[in-house]
Amino acid sequence: MNKLIKILSFVSISLLILTNVQAQEWNVSAEEKAMELGVTFTEEIQDAGNSIYKKSCKMCHGDVTIAASNDRELPLAPNLGATDWQKANTDGEIFTKITSGKGGMPPFSGSLSDDDRWKIVAFIRSNYDAYIPPNTNKAAEAPKVEKFAGTIKDIETIYNDAAQSFTVRIIAIDDNGHPAKAKGVKVDLFVKRYFGNMALFEGERTDENGEIVIEAGNLKADNEGNISIIAQTSDKSIISKKNITISYAQEWENPILGRNIWGTSARTPIWMLVSYLVFTFGTLSVLGWAVFQLLRIHNLRER
Amino acid sequence: MSKKITPEATSRRNFLKKFGISVGGATAVTSLGLLSSCVSDDEEKVPMLTTDGKVINSDKSTLKLNLNEMQKRSREGLSGKKFVMVIDLAKCKNARKCMSACQGAHHLKPEQHHINVLQTENAEGTGFYYQPKPCMQCDNPPCTKVCPVDATFKRKDGIVLIDNERCIGCRFCIAACPYSARVFNWSEPKYYEGDENAIYDMELNVPQKKGTVSKCLFSADRLRIGKLPYCVSACPNGTYWFGDANEDAVTNGTSKETVRLSNLLSDNGAYTLLPELGTKPSVYYLPPKDRMFEYKAGELNYLGEEEPKGHRS
Amino acid sequence: MSENKKQSDEAIMMKIREDILTPMTKFPLSYKIWIGSLLTIIAVAIWGYIIQLQNGLGETGMRDYVSWGVYIASFVFFVATALVGMLISAVVGLVGQKWITPISRIAEMIALAFAMVAGIAIVADMGRPDRILNLFMHGRFQSPIIWDVTVVNLYIFISILLLFLPLLPDLGIIRNHMKKDLPKWQWNLYNILSLGWVGTPGQYKILHSTIRVLLILIVPVAMALHTVTSWLSALTLRAGWDSTIFGPYYVTGAFVAGSGAVLVAMYFIRKAYKLEDYITDFHFDKMGKLMVLVGLVYLYFNINEFIVPGYKMKAADADHIHTLFSLHGEYGVMFWLTQIFGLLLPITLGLFKPFRKPFPMMLIGIAIVIGAWFKRVIIVVPTMIHAYLPIQNVPEEFHHYSPTGLEITVTLGIMAMGILIVSILVKLFPVIPMWEIAEEKGVDIHKDL
């Protein structure tokens, strides 16, 4: 009987999950479908959308890669770079789906602002070559980002100990083979950590000197003050790894050393050990004395 | 339990066992980890952290450790590390993948939880939310204080472990823990195939032993090889951040994004559980604000079956 | 010394010997049935314990949340009862009360027996009793369990000496007079144990000073014993245990439990051994008054223990208090029955002289002892059903605690073992210190009696 109930409940739960995940249809009104992209379709906005995507969407949808149709199966959510999907959905539709969610996908209306959600749409659309931004005038007004035309040779990272700042510089040559200042190149800077690389910045563009300066602010290093950093162009064509040494190295404190934190180690605080031993051996010595008295009584047995 | 094991399976299992890596755990993680980009399937080399904090890539076949060496290594812990967990309550939707991954890895029964997703509210009428509750790995642990035989102890990397080869089963630590983080093997534990010959791994607490206490260990065996704990990497919703406070960095178990711990905590108004007790937990919670998932009143019972209405003690 | 005096001394001693030693040589059917039934209970309990050893503590009602149950409650109860040795002999004796002479040995026997079975109760509660030696190999001086193990053993040691030392002159008497009444092995035993006691003034001098030192020593050791036992709870962060008065609360509670146990033992030993001339109504009256006194002190600590958190009603404390105070609470009925029949009623009735007669005193003693045991359950269990965090995702049985039949059987077995030890001790040794009675009656004891 119990087993039957178990099986029945299992079946019903499975059905419930299936209906949630698959059978339920998107519910997008015509009005919502007709909404236009709420942000300007600039590279800057797309980058911003990308960073929101990484935090809020990537855990289920993964990286957006361009493909003809969805190439992923459950439990992974669909690849949003699928061309057929991009073609089938209007901007407003994508926006509404992010807003209200469905089944396993949560609604983001509470956790992301309208602006942020539009930025995600902009980012998703940046992976669709055939996309035409709705308001091309607006896009035209936005300053065009110049792309660096020369060849990037290397990335150099300089650590300024006094300012606790990093300077990431692109070493490049122009078409004539002369050293050039590579402006507008997207660069990432990571610090190596135990479970992964921590971004100090990602997708930042170099300034007119071909550099990015960032204040790191009290970055934690290991016992010797070493930090491993990785600088790369965002397209990962050039990756440069480097160990730097900082001056404000912090000594690692072993949390279990010292008798004061007596609860955490086998070390006994002296006051406790002394109290214990004095009490125990004090009592034992009196008892020993008492046993010795028995011996004395025994020795007095002859009158 | 079926005892039929194919020869290859046995040898593979024995092979893995020697390094204290449980097959149950490994499969649970690979099958549940959605984005397994960080889970390397490298069979030949294992990154090992030596006790003085250096990472070495060791050949697996040279890593035959006996019980004594494993015990010694497990008691010492990883140098220079101070592991912390940050749980983002806004992300938890009670998927319970953490619980099942944990129970699989540590060979636990359905009612034994190293990590337990609770349904709780801060004060009456303020609304319920899901709250995963592992061991808090306190810096002032009430449990290790009372242990008469040093079977439970705190390591230098901040993890509170339990040695079930030494535990006498007095359950004083269970009484002392205000977070109810400890479980006891009241009867024969759930043995997995191969457990009977397995070398006991304190960092995994497998095989479990009847009459001893078991608890969350932050998956110390995984941390040693530079991987995230079982529960953290099993979560599909990005609830868990895990990392090293000395590096000031935590990595999300789902998106694998690494951020600054101090920023994450201060930006979100992080808090610890029952701070008034002075236990100094290593597990932080981010408040369940702007929740990604709605709280559903229905409750799954301990077997994962749905129950009509939620009840709290 | 006059010849008259010698003759009267001899007559008094004859009577004392007759009254006190004769029951030792007789084994009436009632005694055999009594011992037989105790042994039966113990045998069943051992069988139960073997099942528990094989299948684990899952055979008990304890689970992850309520992880201590009647075993620990019984442990606390046994330790509490054992403290009576210190109360009667040391505290009351040292302040110069002479009336305790005929019951001091009964108190010492109870103390020794219950201190010994307290250790058994702890072993029964252990998940891995096979690893008990770890306590000595890996003991941590920070753990209250190590303190408890140490001090329980010290207390047993002192109790043995405090039982044995005042026995020496009596053993000398038995050796001198009972050679033909006793089996050879038994007489040999007394002969050896008497350590060649001949009652010289030198021997008495040593005996008196040693007993006095031990009586002083047992006071701090007994206090430490029960204070440390209370710390097993009080040193945790749990609501209901997190209390600063747990030490004195336990110690005074122990006095109540112990005087109850002595009242019961006095009654039945007096009846079985026909000792009406030695344990008189006067002694019951005095014991009753002592019971009222320690009961009032314990009541005072009870008021503190419950009113203080009950007034403030901190969240976790409030849950605990409701469980106990409300009759709808899980432990409400048990709590009030315990408090009324185990404490309030005995104190009230004990105030009136008619109730300080032997029979009512025995009934009150039984109520006190049963109440004391349930009070230990009240102290141990309800705290554990209130964790700070919600108890979820576990089977229904984890939320509550009800001891299983096996658990109760083993507990009864341990109790039976304590009672058995007392029953054997009272058969093996004179229950009344003959030489002290003789001395009180003016007999010159400084000679081989």
Paired strand residues for A172:
A152, A180
* Nearest-angstrom CA–CA distance, B195 and B164: 14
Which of B226, B203, B207, B225 has the alpha carbon at shortest distance from B216? B203
Do the chains contact at B243 and A263, CB–CB below 8 Å?
A: no
Query: What mean pLDDT do residues A222-238 have?
Result: 86
Amino acid, res. C49: Y
Phi and psi, residue B174, nearest 5°: -65, -40
- Contact list in B for residue A191 (CB cut-off 8 A) is 249
- pLDDT for B217 equals 95
**Which of B34, B90, B145 has its CB closest to that of A263?**
B145
Query: What mean pLDDT do residues C417-422 have?
Result: 95
Cβ neighbours around C178 below 10 Å, total? 17
Query: What mean pLDDT do residues C375-403 have?
Result: 92
Do the chains contact at A301 and C195, CB–CB below 8 Å?
A: yes
Which of C104, C149, C73 has the alpha carbon at shortest distance from C278? C104
Q: Which helix (H) or strand (E) holds C9?
A: helix C3-25
Phi and psi, residue A240, nearest 5°: -130, 125
C-alpha B237, offset from chain centre: 17
Query: Which domains, from first to last, does chain B contain?
Result: 8-296 (3.30.70.20)
Q: What's the pLDDT band for A221 if we cut at 50, 70, 90?
A: confident
* Nearest-angstrom CA–CA distance, B68 and A123: 55
- pLDDT for A61 equals 83
C235 inside 8 A of chain A by CB: no
Q: Which chains touch C (3 or more CB pairs under 8 A)?
A: A, B
- pLDDT for A268 equals 80
Do the chains contact at B167 and C384, CB–CB below 8 Å?
A: no
Cα distances (Å, whole numbers) of residue A75 to A60, A81, A275, B304, C192: 8, 17, 61, 19, 83
Q: Which of A9-23, A244-258, B61-75, B141-155 bottoms out in mean pLDDT, i.e. has the lowest?
A: A9-23
Helix/strand/coil percentages in chain A, nearest 5: 35, 20, 45
* Nearest-angstrom CA–CA distance, A281 and B294: 63
Per-residue pLDDT reduced to its tens digit, B45-102: 555 555 554 555 655 544 556 788 888 889 888 888 999 999 999 989 888 999 999 9
How far A61 CA sits from the closest chain B CA (Å)? 10
- Contact list in B for residue A78 (CB cut-off 8 A) is none
Q: Which helix (H) or strand (E) holds C12?
A: helix C3-25
Residues C167 and A272 sit within 8 Å (Cβ to Cβ): no
* Nearest-angstrom CA–CA distance, A98 and A94: 6
Which of B168, B140, C185 has the alpha carbon at shortest distance from A255? B140
pLDDT above 70 (res C264): yes
Give me B308's structure tokens. Answer: 């009509």
- B180: CB partners within 8 A, 6+ apart: C64, C65, C387, C388, C389, C391
Q: Nearest 5 degrees, angle CA C123-CA C125-CA C130?
A: 50
User: Which residues does chain B have with pLDDT short of 50?
Assistant: 1-43, 53, 61-62, 308-313
Q: Which residue from B minimizes the CA distance to C147?
A: B148
Per-residue pLDDT reduced to its tens digit, A52-91: 888 788 877 878 888 888 887 766 788 888 888 888 888 8
A-C contacts (CB, under 8 Å):
67
* Nearest-angstrom CA–CA distance, A12 and A224: 58
> What is chain C's mean pLDDT, rounded?
92
How far A262 CA sits from the closest chain C CA (Å)? 8
- pLDDT for A153 equals 87
Q: What's the pLDDT band for C162 if we cut at 50, 70, 90?
A: very high
C54 inside 8 A of chain B by CB: no
Q: Which residue from A minimizes the CA distance to C222?
A: A283
Q: Which chains touch B (3 or more CB pairs under 8 A)?
A: A, C
Do the chains contact at A268 and C217, CB–CB below 8 Å?
A: no
* Nearest-angstrom CA–CA distance, C349 and C372: 17
| C35, C39, C40, C43: CA torsion to nearest 10 | 180
How far A298 CA sits from the closest chain C CA (Å)? 5
C126 inside 8 A of chain B by CB: yes
- Contact list in C for residue A297 (CB cut-off 8 A) is 168, 195-197, 203, 206-207
How far C399 CA sits from the closest chain B CA (Å)? 8
Give the three-class secondary structure for C357. Answer: coil
Give the three-class secondary structure for C178. Answer: coil
**Reported ipTM:** 0.90
Q: Which of B165-179, B283-297, C358-372, C412-426 bottoms out in mean pLDDT, i.e. has the lowest?
A: B283-297
Which pTM value belongs to this model?
0.85
Q: Which of B64-73, B231-240, C238-247, C423-432 bottoms out in mean pLDDT, i.e. has the lowest?
A: B64-73
A interface with C, Cβ–Cβ below 8 Å:
262-263, 266, 268-269, 272-273, 276, 279-280, 283-284, 286-287, 289-291, 293-294, 296-298, 300-303
Query: Which domains, from first to last, does chain A contain?
Result: 25-141 (1.10.760.10), 151-245 (2.60.40)
Q: Which of A95-104, A155-164, B177-186 has the highest mean pLDDT?
A: B177-186
| C194, C199, C201, C203: CA torsion to nearest 10 | 0
Which of B118, B43, B299 has the alpha carbon at shortest distance from C389? B118
Q: Which residue from C minimizes the CA distance to A297?
A: C203
How far B96 CA sits from the closest chain C CA (Å)? 11
Cα distances (Å, whole numbers) of residue C212 to A137, A296, C101, C220: 107, 16, 14, 14
A111 inside 8 A of chain B by CB: yes
Residues C210 and C165 sit within 8 Å (Cβ to Cβ): yes
- pLDDT for B301 equals 65
What share of chain C in percent tops pLDDT 70?
A: 100
Quote the DSSP letter at residue A162.
T
Give me C402's structure tokens. Answer: 């009800």
Cα distances (Å, whole numbers) of residue B56 to B59, B272, C272: 10, 34, 79
Give me C176's structure tokens. Answer: 């001198």
* Nearest-angstrom CA–CA distance, A268 and C143: 10
Query: What mean pLDDT do residues C403-429 have?
Result: 95
- pLDDT for A19 equals 44
Cα distances (Å, whole numbers) of residue B25 to B13, B107, B175, B192, C81: 12, 9, 29, 11, 50
Do the chains contact at B226 and A264, CB–CB below 8 Å?
A: no
pLDDT above 60 (res A197): yes
Give the three-class secondary structure for C70. Answer: helix
- pLDDT for A152 equals 86
